[in-house]
Structure 1
Amino acid sequence: MATKRRKTPALRPVRNKKEDPDSLSAERIRKSEQKTDLQKRIKDTRKESEYLYHDLSHNFPALVCEFLPDSTLTYVNRAYCEYFGMTEEELIGRAFLDLIPEVAREGVKTQYLSLTPQNATKVYNHQVIRNGEIFWHEWHDRAFFDAQGKALKFQSIGFDITERKQAEKTLRESENMYRTLFNRSVEGIYLHDLEGRILDANQMACRQSGYTKDELLKRTVFDLHPDNTDRTGIVGQWKRWDPEQRFTFEATHRRKDGTPFPVEVSTGKIHYEDKEILLAIVRDITERKKISEALKSSEEKFRFLAEKMGDIVWTLDLNLKTTYVSPSVTKVLGFTPEERKAQAAEEIMTPESLAHVKEILTREILRETARDADPDRSINVEVAYYHKNGSTIWLENSIKALRDASGTLTGIYGVSRDISERKRAEEQIRKDLEEKTILLKEIHHRVKNNLTVISSLLNLQVKKIKTKQQAIEAFGESRDRVFAMALVHEKLYQSENFAHVDMHSYLNDMVRQLSSIYRISGNIRLRLEIENAVIDLNRAIPCALILNELITNAFKHAFPPDRSGEISMVFRPCGNEAYELIVSDDGIGLPAGFDPESSDSLGLHLIRLLTVQINGECTIGRDRGTSFRIRFPRNP
C-alpha cells in the first residue's frame, strides 16, 4: 500500500519587521522609475519597429496598403501610389473598394471581413481599375484584432497577375481549339503509351473502329489489329524511337464487329503531361485500296476507255507540259492530241485560269512536305480553255497527283468534262435571279401605285355621290376600273415577260368581261380590230382605265332600249413612232351643246388625265354617233 506524501508548504519571503519605512518607500520609487523607463524603451522600440516596417513597405516593389473595416485606406506605399497614378494624399482616406469594379466589390468585402483571430490571413484574386482598364491582382490580406476579437484594421499586399491570367486564358483557348480540332478531324487520332494502352481517341477513331470512347480507353492499340503477334518487338521499337522520327505504314485494323479494313498509320513520339507517348493518325484507306487494286488490274481497260470516252483524259508534268491527252480532245476543243502536246500552257487556257491552276499546283506541292498530306487526294477545278476556233470552252477538271514508285510527285493527271452548257445555265439562273429580285421590288412598287390609283379614283368618285342610286352606280364603275387594272396584271404574270402586256389578248378579254357585266343584247354588235402590239406596264394601266371608261360609257349611254347599233374598238400601231386607240359607236351621240372639255363628268375627267399621263392626244368625233381617237407615242 502506497504511503501518502505530505504536501510541502510554499516558501514565502520573510519580511524583516524592523525594516525602515523610508527605505521601503525609496525602493518602491526606484522600481516605479525602472518600470516607467522600461515602458518608454518598449514604446520607443515599437515606434522604431513601425518606422522600420513603413520604411521597408514603402520601398517594397509590391502594392502594400492598410485599411479599416469600412475599406478606408490608412496607409499606402510608393508602389501602390505609382500603380494607380495618385498621390498618397489622394489615396489616404479614400475607400479602396472604389478601385475595384462595382460588380466585384461585395465579393471582395465579404472576403476580408471573413477573417477571424483564428484565421487572420487569406489569399484571393480580384480585379482592380487603373486608368479605366481592368487588371487582375493576387492579394494577401492580414487582419488585426483587439482583445475582444474585433477587427481593427487590415493589411494587404497585392501583385499584378494580369499577364498570368491572360496566359491562363490563352492556354484554355488553345486547349479548347486543340480539342475541337482533335474531335473534328476527318482522320482517326489515338494517343497511347509505350505499352500500347490507349489514353485518348477522337470521334473519327470511334466511328472507324465501331467502339465507344469509353470502350477504347479500356483497350490497347493491339486490340485494333490483333493479327500482329509480335507485341514485345513493337513495344521495344517504340521505346527506341527518336522523338523527331515519324513513321507511316499500312496495316489492317479490325472493327468491333470483327470486320477488317485497311488503314494508313502515321505515328511518332510526343511529350504529353511530362511523359513520352505516341500520337497515331489513322486514315481509312478502304476506298484508296479499292481504287489502287482496280487500277492495277485494269490498266489496259482504263486506257481503252480513255481513248473512247467523251471526256478528255490527260497528264501533265510539273511544268504544266502535256505528256498525254486522249483523242476526245479533238471533239471537245478541236485540237489533235499531237497539237495539244506541242502547246505551251499559255496557249491552252486563259490567263485567269492559268494563274489559278499555278496557284493550286504551288499550294499542293507545298503540302507534299506536310506529314498529314494525303498522297491520294484529288482536286476539282473549273478552267476556261481555248478552242481551236478561237472561242472559250469551260471544262471541269478532276485532278490527282502522279507519283513514282517511291511516292514522289512527278506530275498530275485528270479528267476534263465540258461544262459550257452548265456555265451558261448558271449564268442564266443568275440573271433570272436578278430579274426576279428586281421584279419582286417592282411588284411591291406596282401594288403600292395601283392602290394609290384606286384610292384616288374612289376619292374622285365620292365627290360625285349625292343619292343612293349614284352610290350604287359609283360602286359598279369602281368595280370596272379595278377589274381593268387587275386584268392587266393577270395578263402580265401569265406571260414570260413581266414588264410588257400583250394588248391583243388583253383587249379581247376586257371587252368580253364588260359585255358580260352589262349584259349586252344581240341588237348591239361589237367590232374589234386589234393588231398585235406589246406595251410596257407603265402605260398599260392608263390605257386599260381609258378603255374601261370609253367602253362602259358606250354600253351605258350610246343605245337606248330597243335601239340596235355597233360599237367598234381599234388598237393599232401608227408607223414606228406611235399607237392609235379608237373607240366609236353609231348610237345617239353626245347631247347637243355638250362640251367634253368643260364637262364635270368623272369618266371624261379621267380620260383627259390619263391621256396626258401617257403623253397622248385625244380627239372626239360626233359624226354618226361618237368616236374617241387617242394617239400616244410608243416610247415614253
Structure 2
Amino acid sequence: MMNKPNYEELLKRVTFLEKELAEKAHLEETLRETVLMSQDILEKAADGICVCHNIREKPYVKFTHWNPRMIGITGYTMEEINKLGWYQTMYPDPEVQKRAIERMAKMREGDDIQAEEWMITTKSGQKRPLSMSTSIVKEENGKVHILAVIQDITERKNAEEALRNSEEKFRFLAEKMVDIVWTTNLDFQTTYVSPSIKNVLGFTPEERKRQSLEEMITPESLAKVQLMFVRELQRDEEGTVDPDRSVTIEVEYYRKDGSTVWLENIVKAIRDPGGAVVGMHGVSRDISARKQTEDTLRESESRYKSLFKNNHSVMLLIDPDSADIVDANPAAICYYGWSLEELTAMKITDINILAEGHVFQEIEKAKSEERRRFIFQHRLSNGDIRDVEVYSGPIELHGQKLLYSIIHDITDRIQAEEALKWELAVSSSLSKLYIPLISHDSTIEDTTNTILDEAMHLTGSKHGYVSSVDPNTGDNVGHTLTEMLNGQCAVTESNTRIAFAMGKDGFYGGLWGHALDTR
C-alpha cells in the first residue's frame, strides 16, 4: 500500500505543475504572436502570396491562402478563383492554358518555378505580365501543397518598352544624320562615332575606333588640334571661361581612299561630376564646298559675279562700317522674300534680330577675322524667324572693303540636335532607372531618389516631387502638394522633397517616375 505524500511533497508537485503551466502559457502566447505576425506579413506583403494544392476534379487546383495583393493583381477573391478555376480564368487561351497545366505538373514533381514570366487575364479583361516563383510546402495523401509568390511586372515591362523605343529613336537619328557625331577620350581615341562617317570619310565606326589621331588628320591639322586642346585646358585652369562652351575648328581629314576633305568641328568637353575634363564630344560637317567657294572668291574678283549670282547658297555683301546690304544673290532674294532693290535699301540690322549694338560687335569680329562662324536668328519678309549659320569674312571688291556672308538655314538641324540631345539624356536616365526599378534590394526611398535625381538632371530644376500613377488610367494619385499635406500621401522627409502616393488598397502603387517640375 502506497504511502500518502506529505505536505512538502505535495507542495513540490504543485510548484512543478504551476511552472509547467506557466511555461506552456508562455509558449502558447509566443506561438500566437508568431502566427499573428506571419499572418500580418502575408496580409501586407507587396507581392501576391498564395498556397494551393492539386485536386482530381475541375478546376484541378484549390487555393487555401490568398493574400489581399492577389486580389489587387488578379481582381478575383479566393472564393471566386476556387469556383471558376485558376487555369480557366487566368489563361482563357486553350494553348496557353494547356502549357500552364503542364508546367504545374512539372512543378509538383519538384521543378520549381523561379521568376518565370507569365501573362494572365485579370477579372476586368486586362492583360497583365507577372513574375512567378514557387516551392513545395508539403505533400500528404497525394496532394502537393505549393507556395507561390507572384509579382506584377507591368511597370518594369513599360520601362523596358520605353527604353527600347528611346534607343530606336536615337539609332534612327544617328543613322540618318549627314553630320558626323563622335566622342573621344583624353588620348583622342574614338569611343563613339555615328554611322554617317561611312558616307563622309569611307570608314566604318569600328575602323574609326581603331585609328589614332595621327591616322585621321593631316600633320598641319594635327598640330592645330593639339595647340587648341592645350590652350583650352589652360583656359579651364584659369577658371574664367564657361565650362559648357564649344570650340569651332576646321580640320583636314583623310578619307579611306587617301584623299582629304575639310570638316568643321564643333567641340565640347565631357566632364565628370567634379567638373574635370574626361573626354570630348563633337559634330563634324563637310565644308569642302564652302571652302572651295571662299578660296575661289579670294582668288579672283573677276569670277565674283558668276560665283555670287549663280551660287545656290544664300549670300550677302555687307558694308562693315554702316551695316548696309550692298548686294544679295538670287538665292538670298528667294530666301528672305524681299526684292534686290528692297534688300539693298536695308541694313543687316533690319534682318538680324539681335540689338543693333550687338550686331556691330559681331561685324567687328568678322571684319578682323577674330571669328568667321556665327549663329544668328534672321527675320524673313513674312515675319518668320529662322536660325541661321553665317560664315562671314572680309573681301576687297572694286577697291571697297566689304564682308561677304554665306548664310545657311539651320533651323531643322538645331531642332534635330535638340531632339537628339533629349533622346540621349532620356535614354541615359532610363538605363539608370532600370536596375533600381526591378531590383528586389532597392527600397522605395532609393528608387524614388534615383528617379528624382534623373528628373532634376533632365529638367534642370531642383524642385519637384513624385506622385504615383494609376497603371490602368494613367491618372496621378495625390499630384499636388495640398493633397499630400491633407494626408493622401505620406511625406517621408521633413523638406517634403520626397512623397509617396498611397493607393485606395493601402499599398504604394504605380511607377514612382512621374516627377513634376515646379520651376
Q: TM-score, normalised by structure 2?
A: 0.49
> Taking CA–CA contacts closer than 8 Å with sequence separation of 6 or more, which of the two structures ends up with the larger relative contact order?
2
